[in-house]
Amino acid sequence: MAIPVVDLADFLSGDPKKKAEFVQQLGKAYEDVGFVAVKNHGIPDTLIADLYKCVQQFFSMPQEQKRKYEKPELSGQRGYTSFGKEHAKGSDAPDLKEFFQFGQTVNDNDSVKSEYPPNVSVAEIPAFTPVFFKAYRAFEKSGKALLEAIAIYLALDEHYFDDYIHNGNSILRAIHYPPITQEPKSAIRAEQHEDINLITLLVGASADGLEILTRQNEWVPVTSLPDQIVVNVGDMLQRFTNDKLKSTTHRVVNPPREKWHTSRFSIPFFLHPKSSMSLACLQNCVDADHPKAYPDATAGEYLDERLREIGLKK
């Protein structure tokens, strides 16, 4: 399925007509599909290449070395999470993946700093932390622009989300789906799920496998060109907009048998606000035909609930 393609350069062009058209294209895509491919996203190809290089180096290390970076007390929010620890909400079967998470670095005097554990440095790969930090900031910048367009579409002030996502609880997650070495119990590498956050920015996975569930209840593969990133709505934004914008169900399926020997790498950036942001449904998204669908909650309360549901927090 070719998901709608939008050009972020139009939004940033300074041309009011192009900007307004971008806002409508993005908003409509998020109402209808929940996924878009974004070109001219501002994340340099060289940085993406460096990021993948670090990720592949890390996951190729022996298991005992990787386990040094697993911090169970952090509920998977920083550092390494070993194979089979996470499962989708409502599923008992563990996903066939291992991952590494890198979070926010607060460089000003924001009191939110006390809420975030420090990032985990990988001693064997000196470039790891600097590259992840640089990529994190690049994703934040692109995500901020996309949220400004979403704010306009929702008839909010263009900068409504800015303060909430400055020093927000976003996560850069590097995922490794190892080669399949025996007949799998299921055709699914990562069971169907919706993302928790506001929006997710995904920079080209190293192999196909991502599928989304259409309104017709059919699973279709998602493809994007190498110069595009895929950006989808998460549950926090769906909740905030009272289901106006769609958090689409998606999954990762196993490759064909002839590719079982290959690894799949994927690096999503889960854009979260600060935990204090209210996710109470927007008044202008609630009416007689669309009654309020969710109780009020903060982003922090909702995240805690979801981390327990997927097995990362006890």
User: With 80 as the cut, is the pLDDT of residue 314 above it?
Assistant: no
Instruction: Report, as an integer, the average pLDDT of 7-28.
Output: 97
Predicted pLDDT of residue 68:
95
pLDDT in tens, 248-277: 999 988 888 888 888 888 899 999 999 999
Which tokens go with 22? 């971008």
Structural domains for the chain: 5-309 (2.60.120.330)
Predicted pLDDT of residue 80:
96
CB atoms within 10 A of CB 112: 16
Instruction: Report, as an integer, the average pLDDT of 273-290.
Output: 96
Beta bridge partners of residue 203, listed in sequence order: 229, 267
Helix (H) or strand (E) holding 253: strand 250-253
Give the pLDDT band of residue 214 (cuts 50, 70, 90): confident
Please report which residue ranges of 186-298 form alpha helices under DSSP H: 235-240
User: With 80 as the cut, is the pLDDT of residue 48 above it?
Assistant: yes
Measured CA to CA, the distance from residue 237 to residue 271 in angstroms comes to 10
User: With 70 as the cut, is the pLDDT of residue 205 above it?
Assistant: no
Instruction: Report, as an integer, the average pLDDT of 142-163.
Output: 98
Least confidently predicted of 51-60, 162-171, 302-311? 302-311
Q: What is the mean pLDDT of the chain?
A: 90
pLDDT in tens, 170-184: 999 999 988 888 776
Predicted pLDDT of residue 307:
79
User: With 80 as the cut, is the pLDDT of residue 235 above it?
Assistant: yes
State the sign of the Cα–Cα–Cα–Cα dihedral 57, 43, 196, 185.
Answer: negative
Instruction: Say which residues have a Cβ less than 8 Å from residue 45's Cβ, sequence separation at least 6.
Output: 227
Predicted pLDDT of residue 191:
77
User: With 60 as the cut, is the pLDDT of residue 310 above it?
Assistant: yes
| Count of residues in the chain | 314
Predicted pLDDT of residue 93:
61
Instruction: Report, as an integer, the average pLDDT of 210-239.
Output: 89
Predicted pLDDT of residue 313:
63
Measured CA to CA, the distance from residue 295 to residue 304 in angstroms comes to 15
User: Pick from 168, 167, 150: which is nearest to 159 by CA?
Assistant: 150
Please report which residue ranges of the chain form alpha helices under DSSP H: 8-11, 16-32, 45-59, 63-67, 128-153, 162-165, 235-240, 299-309
Least confidently predicted of 18-32, 102-116, 133-147, 186-200? 186-200
Predicted pLDDT of residue 97:
85
Least confidently predicted of 264-268, 280-284, 308-312? 308-312
Instruction: Report, as an integer, the average pLDDT of 145-168.
Output: 98
User: Pick from 266, 218, 260: which is nearest to 48 by CA?
Assistant: 266
Backbone angles phi, psi at 50, to 5 degrees: -65, -40
Predicted pLDDT of residue 1:
61
